[in-house]
Amino acid sequence: MTLDPQIQYFKDDVERFWGMMEQQIEVCPDALWNKKAGGFVFWQQILHSVGCAEIYALEDPEPPLSVMSEYSTDVVMLNKEPDTKVSKTKLREVSDRVKKLVLTFLDGLTPQSISGQHERMTRRMGRLQTRQHAAQALIRHCGYHLGGCDAALREHGVKGVY
């Protein structure tokens, strides 16, 4: 199925940014993985991006969010430093699971449905949020944290991926 050009653009950006995030997981040295950089533990920033992506991808406000259920919501939302460590392997598993949800969400968008209300985001934000808002927020938010993680990599002698 051919996606609408605007929707395809959103999907292309998500796939490009997600690929870079996956590269950051791979190239991050062990010495940086569990270290604070840019105000947060390196892996926590990626977990936050993935956790928020799940919010954008799941429209129904009722089911619990798997990332928030698996990890402390305060840790995922960067309100608290983690008490435990997350391995690269585990973060890859979580990332892969949420990436599938995100791509399913984007593949389900049509020119007619994209302007419809996104229930979960509307409830979280307390104002009307559309599926287009969700797609744009997903890209913007992922890109923001991608840049922060890339800066942390460069500050620790690793060539960034962005």
The domain ranges of the chain are 5-155
Structure tokens at 96: 């892969």
pLDDT of residue 1: 60
Candidates 77, 82, 59, 79; CA nearest to 67 is 77
Candidates 146, 157, 113; CA nearest to 25 is 146
CA pair distance 15, 139, nearest whole angstrom: 10
CA pair distance 148, 38, nearest whole angstrom: 7
pTM here is 0.94
CATH code for residues 5-155: 1.20.120.450
pLDDT of residue 3: 74
pLDDT of residue 129: 96
* Helix, strand, coil tally for the chain in percent (to 5): 65, 5, 30
pLDDT of residue 94: 96
Structure tokens at 11: 């999907």
Q: What is the dihedral sign for C-alpha 54, 58, 62, 63?
A: negative
pLDDT tens for residues 2-49?
A: 779 999 999 999 999 999 999 999 999 999 999 999 899 999 999 999
pLDDT beneath 50: ranges in the chain = none
In the chain, the amino acid numbered 12 is: D
